[in-house]
């Protein structure tokens, strides 16, 4: 049983898909939720559907922007004395390479760097909880892709998949690094192909193919997020847990290399100092 009957949960990417479903269920269970997303209309629709009064705070922010991440963290600190669970969903695919106002490749900034910064900056609030947990929903267990150490911003050979895989592997390494020194337990969770995900950025042919494939091969959002509630209510004992489609991931996997995790943390700090 959880030590505290209700929890304060921060969710990045809470306005759609799995993040939205998680937010609604946490509210239904009596938790307080801080929901982050970039789309104001979707945020307002979440607030209306939840009907949770002041237990739900929506922060509209573009998490690909460092200034917006900073503002978001400031708002969270202003309104919360502690955070029991930080659940990270925010991601969006970019068919073409594009840069954020900070000059970073968009997928790197949104999918990896926002998770890095939210984790780093919310650590004091997580430390204030008796049983804190961070859950990063991404693609752990997947061995495809790599960190392009000499071209993290993918200036040379960009593709949507290359960018997604690099940021996914970076998130794997983030979990390994954070688990070494944080009180909060870190859970990396790969739900598998799920009937969610914005496809609006793709051409109509790809969109149709993804919709059809989703109908026949993907799992429901409700079943994909179910384990997340278990992690929030009863955080695992061990510092790091990695689950790929229901199975524990071998921690000796090449993509979870502790030396690479330290290297990425150092490179990320240097990058941030230069911005």
Ligand X SMILES: NC(=O)c1ccc[n+]([C@@H]2O[C@H](COP(=O)([O-])OP(=O)(O)OC[C@H]3O[C@@H](n4cnc5c(N)ncnc54)[C@H](OP(=O)(O)O)[C@@H]3O)[C@@H](O)[C@H]2O)c1
Q: Does 18 help bind ligand X (rule: CB under 6 A)?
A: yes
Decide: 52 and 33 in contact? Cβ < 8 Å: yes
Q: Does 153 help bind ligand X (rule: CB under 6 A)?
A: no
Q: Can you tell me which of 10, 33, 83, 137 binds ligand X, judged by CB under 6 A? A: 137
| Cβ closest to ligand X, residue 109 vs residue 125 | 109
| Cβ closest to ligand X, residue 33 vs residue 129 | 33
Contacts of 1 (CB under 8 A, 6+ apart): 234
Q: Does 260 help bind ligand X (rule: CB under 6 A)?
A: no
Structure tokens at 275: 């911005």
The residue range among 56-64, 125-133, 173-181, 235-243 that interacts with ligand X, by the rule CB under 6 A, is 56-64
In the chain, beta strands by DSSP E: 8-12, 32-37, 56-60, 85-88, 133-137, 185-190, 240-244, 247-248
Q: Does 107 help bind ligand X (rule: CB under 6 A)?
A: no
Number of alpha carbons in the 13 Å side-chain half-sphere of residue 10? 27
Nearest Cα to Cα of residue 52 among 26, 91, 90: 26
Q: Can you tell me which of 8, 10, 32, 37 binds ligand X, judged by CB under 6 A? A: 37
Planar angle of CA 109, 44, 213, nearest 5 degrees: 60
Q: Does 4 help bind ligand X (rule: CB under 6 A)?
A: no
Crossing angle of helices 160-181 and 258-273, in 10° steps, is 100
Q: Does 89 help bind ligand X (rule: CB under 6 A)?
A: yes
CB of 45 to ligand X, least distance (A): 10
Q: Does 198 help bind ligand X (rule: CB under 6 A)?
A: yes
Q: Which of residues 213-242 bind ligand X (CB under 6 A)?
A: none
Strand partners, 134: 86, 186
Residues lying near ligand X in the complex (CB under 6 A) = 13-19, 36-39, 42, 62-64, 89-92, 110, 137-139, 190-191, 193-194, 196-198
């Amino acid at each position: 049983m959880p030590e505290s009957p209700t929890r304060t949960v921060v969710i990045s990417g809470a306005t759609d898909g799995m993040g939205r479903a998680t937010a609604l269920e946490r509210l239904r269970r009596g938790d307080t939720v801080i929901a982050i997303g970039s789309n104001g209309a979707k945020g307002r629709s979440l607030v209306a559907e939840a009907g949770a009064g002041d237990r739900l705070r929506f922060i509209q922010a573009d998490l690909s922007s460092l200034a917006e991440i900073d503002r978001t963290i400031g708002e969270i600190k202003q309104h919360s004395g502690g955070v029991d669970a930080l659940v990270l969903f925010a991601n969006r695919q970019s068919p073409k390479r594009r840069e954020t106002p900070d000059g970073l490749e968009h997928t790197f900034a949104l999918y990896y760097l926002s998770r890095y910064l939210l984790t780093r900056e919310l650590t004091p609030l997580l430390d204030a909880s008796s049983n804190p947990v961070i859950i990063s929903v991404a693609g752990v267990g997947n061995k495809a892709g790599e960190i392009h150490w000499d071209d993290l911003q993918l200036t040379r050979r960009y593709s949507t998949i290359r960018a997604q895989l690099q940021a996914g592997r970076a998130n794997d390494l983030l979990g390994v690094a954070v688990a070494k020194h944080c009180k909060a337990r870190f859970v990396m969770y790969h739900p598998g192909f799920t009937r969610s995900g914005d496809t609006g950025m793709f051409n109509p042919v790809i969109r149709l193919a993804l919709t059809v494939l989703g109908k026949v091969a993907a799992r429901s959002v409700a079943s994909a997020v179910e384990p997340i509630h278990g992690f929030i209510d009863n955080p695992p004992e061990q510092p790091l847990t990695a689950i790929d489609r229901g199975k524990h991931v071998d921690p000796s996997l090449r993509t979870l290399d502790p030396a690479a995790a330290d290297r990425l943390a150092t490179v990320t700090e240097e990058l941030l100092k230069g911005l």
